[in-house]
Amino acid sequence: MAELIADLFVSIDGFARGVEVGPYFGYGGDELDAWITREVGRPQVLVMGRVTYELMAGLSATATDTNSVRTNETPKVVVSRTLHEPLDWQNTRLVRDLADGIGALKRESDVPLRTIGSLSLVRGLVELGLVDRLRVMVFPMMVGDDGRELAFDGFARGGFELAGTEVLDSRIVLLEYRPAVR
């Protein structure tokens, strides 16, 4: 069975985005860029919700940088009840039911699945017990009143075990967790 990895980028105070903070909360760097390039280059199926799909399809589909080209070539799945096939972004298929669709994909896939963006999707996957690794990239910024979308708002109570840490650019911390076995 394929592993499902959920990636979330958050501020220190737990927001997934903020007003006028820019990409990566304004804390990009060489090691973060290398991490992203490494992750984009791995064999995988990218899983996203409708909002992330619409944003990424509009940006990546016509971009010519190495990471965008690789993302275009990578198999992708969008979970949505409102979109209809055929989808515009190449190598993208539609899944309507989160539990059955992603569960079947995990059983069928030869490569890991990895979420990008999509907080509500990650929340649903965690609640269904479909996430094998939760990676939280913490950026050294408190967005305070400018914060939008609390990353873990609405998540059900659950335990995790720390599986690893990595520091990027001497300021960004990647925390990797696995669901706690009870």
What pLDDT, in 10s, does the model give residues 98-126? 999 999 999 999 999 999 988 999 999 99
pLDDT in tens, 59-103: 877 889 999 999 999 999 999 999 999 999 999 999 999 999 999
pTM above 0.85, yes or no: yes
Strands lying side by side in the sheet with 113-115? 92-95, 76-79, 45-49, 113-115, 4-11, 133-139, 172-179, 160-168
- The verdict on domain 4-179 having CATH code 3.40.430.10 is yes
Task: Tell me the CA distances in angstroms from 116 to 47, 138, 146, 180, 182, one per residue in order.
Answer: 6, 15, 22, 23, 28
